[in-house]
A and B are shown apart, each in its own frame.
Chain A
Amino acid sequence: MKNQKDIAKDIRRKALKKNWTMFKQSKLGMLGLYIVLFFLFLSLLQPFLFITGIWNKGVYDPVVGYSEQFQEFLVVECPKEYPTEKYKDRGDCPAKLEVNVRTLFYSDAQVGETIIQNLQPAPPSAKHILGTDSLGRDVFSQVMEGSQVAFLLGLLSATLGVGISTLLGTIAAFFGGRVDAYLMRQSDLILMLPTLPLLFIISAFAELKVWHLAVVLGTIGGLGGSVITIKSQALQVKVKPFVDSARITGGSRMNILFSHVLPNVAPLALLFMVFSVTGAIASESVLSFLGLLNIDMSWGLMIYLAQVEGFIFSGMKFWWLILPAGLSVTFLAGGFYLVGRGLDEVFNPRLRQR
């Protein structure tokens, strides 16, 4: 015999299944989901590799690891005028596995000899899939660490923000009057504050760590424009017949708010959550790119390091320092965006194809 709880569970499971089939129809949504899952896998893989001992912490640690890579170099002298037979322009000398005699301060090797030298940043090899940076740290491990940071920050700030905005939005719609007016003015105020300069100022008086930033971003996002949107959705739910019948059958205000209005606002809130992850990841990268964030390793910091060490303008010669971090930020943010778009087509009846 089925009791009431089982029936409710059954209905919920069926609805979930239906939504999942609808989500599967959007190809781009699935692509986004795969991208997100791939990065989730990466961020979980690193601790696994460390715990099982496949990776030695001394070599592969993203912050303090060091990998020795010795290589034989040919000592050459760069010509004063270009082009010559061997080198077309100034950027070609010293070529691969060559070293300019003028930059050898620590050895008295002559032109034409070979010397053994540490090769950093080292190009990709079997040991280091994405090579190492100029301090001999594994880039692939850094990418993994960066994706941990991005997931932690994105999900924490999105959950916090959506929690705040859903609660405030439904309260504003449900109680109306002065509460509503106050909350709406507050949203106006938050919308007026320019986000990036505000974050600069906060970083000037408080040392920002990842979870501090997550709280700040979540609060700004949660008090801002999303309260207004969720309020308008909750206003539509509030006038539905089932809310009236719940009131007639004697449901308390809190009961109606939490078990009738909130679940009906939840899909929209989920949508906001997915979209705000994109913004949070981008903000973190921007702040660590500008060097305003107190953080050991992240994607933004990797690009910052590549820029201040001058590898950006060396072009594709050191591609493993430039491409992985930038593409990771782009792809993870894009993945979350595509998932959000797929969900939008599921939850928004006006966007459905049939």
Chain B
Amino acid sequence: MYKYVFRRVYQLIIVFFLFLVTSYVLFDSIPGNAFQSLLLNPELPREAYDMVIQLYGLDKPLYERVILYIQNFFRGDFGYSYVHYPRTPIELIAERLPRTLMLFAMVNIVAFYTGFLIGKILAWRRGSKSETWITVTSVFSYTVFYPWFALMMLWFFGYKLDWLPIGKFLYPEKWYDSPYDSDVIFVSMIKFIAVASILQMLAFVYTRNIESISARRNVRFTSFMIIIIGSFMYWNTGEMLNQKIYAMDIAYHMILPVFTVTVVAFAGTALLTRTTMMEVMKDDFILTARAKGISQKRIRDRHAARNALLPVVTSFIFTIVTIIDGSVLTETIFSWPGMGQLILDSVLREDIPVAMASFSFIGVFALIAHFIADISYAYLDPRIRIQSQG
């Protein structure tokens, strides 16, 4: 096991350096350089331009620049943004990241849970009419052209019914004399959601071994209610009471994006769960369980779904990588100022330092997620553990 982990770390470090070099070369092949627009200014002498080029090391050969870039990457130095001048790319990312994480952490948790439940039911009812209909619906939401669907949702709920706001993540007039920065509220909301979901998960894990299904359901429902009441109390005490109205404002703006992305995102998990579970249901131990006379629901939940969980969990960890990837569209359509919009804007407006920093940042994010996926897979699947030893 340790040998496997070490080998994996070593490989990922090589891949990471390859990634840095590739991303630098990619950005380098964009025609022109960052300061070429200065040449259009007739007041600026040619020498000054040459000086700037020299100052930033742009006259050096490619391999020296690549080495310089890698050094600067580890110093966390990406220069300054051109569009938002005095701010650095790191500052911009630190400002935008909580907003993206907030939105997509919610979406992923909800979508994963619904997807797994629906996939379980789908595989179990194979061949029935309801299976066909649910499958058609989930294939539709899996392949629906996302920007179009999001625009339709925006039109229906935001404009036609006028229930929810169209775009943005807060009403500026409410925040005019607010004592808090919006990022402070975001961070406290993320903390709250993380704690609440960890508590809920712990409740699920510890009630796993209760034998009777109805008793287990009651215990889980009680724990869920306790968490709800606890969170209600949390938001009504001390400093949180002041933050509450601002948090409510953000939450109100979050409903539509979360709902839309969930409708699209649950289908992938549902369809994958269905396939893996159908493979598991061919196995002999399901037949044995049937022969023993265990109830159908129990076979479904404890024998089949449990074994089908492994590939689904791994794919879930991989989808964490695509969070930022997929967020580009959502954030553009709902004008949610997050990481996705940052990277699209910076590429369109040729704000190279920000684009480079956010691209590399996504790379690091992906690297960590891959590592976690690999390790958890090896830990959960004994076949890989044994293979790596031999």
Contact = CB atoms under 8 A, between A and B. Distances in A.
Contact of A303 (B142, B147, B275): B147
Contacts of B282: 350-351
Interface of A: 27-28, 185, 188-189, 191-198, 200-202, 204-205, 278, 282, 285-286, 289-290, 299-300, 303, 307, 312-313, 315, 322, 325-326, 329-330, 333-334, 337-338, 344, 348, 350-351, 353
Given A185-B18, A197-B328, A315 B347 contact: no
B14 A329 contact: no
- Among B143, B149, B159, the one with the most A-chain Cβ atoms within 10 Å of its Cβ is B143
Contacts of B143: 278, 282, 330, 333-334, 337
Interface in B289-346: 321-322, 324-326, 328-329, 332, 343-344
B366 interface: yes
Given A194-B324, A326-B148, A334 B139 contact: yes
A278 B143 CA distance: 8
Contacts of B27: 201
B350 interface: yes
Nearest to A348: B279
Give 9 closest A-B pairs by Cβ, nearest first: A326-B148, A329-B145, A333-B143, A205-B30, A334-B143, A200-B347, A194-B325, A192-B366, A350-B279
Interface string B336-378: 0000000110011010000100110011001100100000000
B144 interface: yes
B274 to A, nearest CB: 10
DSSP majority for the B interface? helix
Given A201-B26, A204-B30, 6 more contacts: A194-B321, A201-B355, A202-B26, A285-B145, A307-B151, A334-B142
A194 B342 CA distance: 14
6 contacts: A194-B362, A282-B146, A315-B159, A330-B140, A334-B143, A348-B279
Interface of B: 11-12, 14-15, 18-19, 22, 26-27, 29-31, 126-127, 132, 135-136, 139-140, 142-149, 151-152, 155, 159-160, 275, 278-279, 282, 321-322, 324-326, 328-329, 332, 343-344, 347-348, 350, 355, 358-359, 362-363, 366-367, 370
B136 A303 contact: no
A330 B362 contact: no
A315 B139 contact: no
A329 B30 CA distance: 31
A150 to B, nearest CB: 11
Contacts of B159: 313, 315
A8 to B, nearest CB: 32
A14 B332 CA distance: 52
Contacts of A195: 325
Nearest to A285: B145
B280 to A, nearest CB: 9
A352 B159 CA distance: 47
A312 B151 contact: yes
Contacts of B325: 194-197
Contact of A185 (B11, B26, B322, B348): B11
Nearest to A200: B347
Contacts of A282: 143, 145-146
A329 B273 CA distance: 25
Contact of B135 (A28, A290, A344, A350): A28
A277 B324 CA distance: 23
A282 B146 CA distance: 9
Nearest to B156: A315
A192 B145 contact: no
A191 B14 CA distance: 14
Given A194-B324, A194-B325, A201 B347 contact: yes
Given A194-B324, A205-B29, A28 B15 contact: no
Nearest to B325: A194
A188 B151 contact: no
Given A201-B355, A337-B139, A290 B148 contact: no
